[in-house]
Structure formats: structure tokens, C-alpha cells
């Protein structure tokens, strides 16, 4: 199974997550502050980081920014925990690079379901059929290496961004609704704001080319067909 790092300064919450994850067969390490989380990720290379936002020292948002800026940890799946239930706060977590979020108080079963979805998306410990590379115009997506190239240059994408990009590039011109994109990201487990998709798309536009992802107002998004 997977190696999970839990960064949570509340010992009771950390122990609850640890118990549920261990019951599913995972190996779990726990740290209580942001600096320790950064050190543990860089040293041990976990398969999933469960990250509280309100950590002492370096908070969860800055931990995420630093990990995403490092090519060695940029693709690490990050599941963010936050006590701030406002949509803007949740979307901020996605904007800095988290792949998913769970608001406190949460159901441990939902937390584990979200974690499983992220691990499946990142193909941790699973043998998947090799999906062929996709190329449209100047963008190439290589699923086997979780790699994105734009005009020959590597572009670091989070697992969520990569998942949406692969789907959009697979059928240029097809309009995918937000619900379809959300299901690809999270399955049917729990409520996720439709704006989650908007944040991932905005980040892809920044990293690639704004014109590559076309907005179909009131419906969703489509990958632009090359001229």
C-alpha cells in the first residue's frame, strides 16, 4: 500500500487519521509543524501528504507552494485539511497547488476516500495499462511518466491539473462539462465545489497558454483545436 505523511498539529486529529490509514494497510508518519513536513517529504518521499492548513511555523499554504516549486516534489499528491469552510479559502488551497481538500469537522471515512482517489490518480502501487502519449499542437502529455511538455519544455503539473489536462487533450474540441471533469477528479465521493475545476483550468492556462483551454460559457471547457 502507500506511504502517507500526516502533517497535523492536533495530536487527537493526527492519531485519528493515522489509525484509519493504518487500518487500510498504509504506512503512516506524523509530524506537527510545517518545517518538519517539508523535511519529511524531502527525506522520505511519501506517496501522499495529508496537510493541515493551520500549522505552526510554516503554514500549509506555504508548505504547498514550496513543494510545488521543487521539481523533486512538484507531483506529490496533497490532500489539504482546513477549518475554514468558506469557498474562497478552499479555492486558495487549490490555487497554491493542493489536489483536494477536506473541511473540518470531517468524516474519517470521507477523508480516506479522498486519499484513495488521489492515490489511484497517481497510480501508487497499482499496475495500470500503459496509456499512450498524447500530442496536440505544441503540447505533449506522457501519462507513463506523468510528464507534460510545452514546446519541448517540461511543465510541472499537480496530479489534479494533469488529470484534467489529459482528459481535455484526449479529445480536442469536445466540450466537457464541469460535472464530467469533477467526476474524473474526485469520482462520486462527497461534495466538491464546481469552482475546483475553474481553479485547475486557470493554473493550466498560466503554465501553458491561455488560448489552449476554451471556455464554453454555461457548460464547461474544451481543448482548442489546432488551426
* 207-227 tens-digit pLDDT: 999 999 999 998 999 999 886
8 A C-beta contact, residue 21 and residue 112: yes
8 A C-beta contact, residue 67 and residue 73: yes
Reported as a pLDDT band with limits 50, 70 and 90, residue 11 is very high
Cα 61 to the center of its chain, rounded Å? 13
Give this prediction's pTM. 0.69
The top-scoring range by mean pLDDT among 46-60, 138-152, 190-204 is 46-60
Q: What is the pLDDT of residue 129?
A: 61
CB count within 10 Å of CB 32 equals 18
pLDDT at 126 exceeding the cut of 70: no
Reported as a pLDDT band with limits 50, 70 and 90, residue 87 is low
Angle, helix 11-23 to helix 108-121, in steps of 10 degrees: 60
Residue where the block lists cell 471533469: 181
Q: What is the pLDDT of residue 122?
A: 72
Reported as a pLDDT band with limits 50, 70 and 90, residue 125 is very low
Average pLDDT on 6-19 reads 96
Helix (H, G, I), strand (E, B) or coil at 11: helix
User: Is the backbone of residue 71 left (phi > 0), alpha (psi -120 to 50) or beta?
Assistant: alpha
Q: What is the pLDDT of residue 98?
A: 87
Share of residues in the chain with pLDDT > 90 (%) = 57
Cα 212 to the center of its chain, rounded Å? 21
Running DSSP on this structure, what letter comes out for residue 83? S
Compute CA distances 20 → 2, 17, 83, whole Å.
13, 5, 20
Cα 87 to the center of its chain, rounded Å? 17
Helix (H, G, I), strand (E, B) or coil at 25: coil
Return the closest-CA partner of residue 180 out of 191, 188, 169.
188
Amino acid at each position: 500500500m502507500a506511504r502517507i505523511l500526516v502533517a497535523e498539529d492536533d495530536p487527537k486529529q493526527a492519531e485519528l487519521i493515522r489509525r484509519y490509514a493504518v487500518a487500510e494497510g498504509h504506512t503512516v508518519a506524523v509530524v506537527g509543524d510545517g518545517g518538519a513536513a517539508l523535511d519529511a517529504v524531502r527525506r522520505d518521499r511519501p506517496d501522499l501528504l495529508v496537510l493541515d492548513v493551520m500549522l505552526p511555523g510554516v503554514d500549509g499554504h506555504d508548505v504547498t507552494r514550496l513543494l510545488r516549486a521543487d521539481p523533486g516534489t512538484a507531483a506529490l499528491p496533497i490532500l489539504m485539511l482546513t477549518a475554514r469552510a468558506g469557498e474562497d479559502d478552499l479555492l486558495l488551497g487549490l490555487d497554491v497547488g493542493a489536489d483536494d481538500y477536506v473541511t473540518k469537522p470531517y468524516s474519517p471515512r470521507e477523508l480516506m476516500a479522498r486519499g484513495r482517489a488521489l492515490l489511484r490518480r497517481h497510480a501508487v502501487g497499482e499496475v495500470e495499462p500503459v496509456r499512450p502519449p498524447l500530442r496536440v499542437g505544441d503540447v505533449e502529455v506522457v501519462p507513463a511518466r506523468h510528464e507534460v511538455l510545452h514546446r519541448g519544455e517540461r511543465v510541472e503539473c499537480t496530479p489534479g491539473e494533469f488529470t484534467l489536462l489529459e482528459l481535455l487533450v484526449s479529445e480536442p474540441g469536445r466540450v466537457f462539462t464541469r460535472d464530467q471533469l469533477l467526476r474524473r477528479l474526485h469520482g462520486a465521493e462527497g461534495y466538491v465545489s464546481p469552482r475546483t475545476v475553474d481553479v485547475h483550468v486557470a493554473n493550466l492556462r498560466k503554465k501553458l497558454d491561455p488560448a489552449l483551454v476554451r471556455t464554453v460559457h454555461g457548460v464547461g471547457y474544451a481543448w482548442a483545436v489546432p488551426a
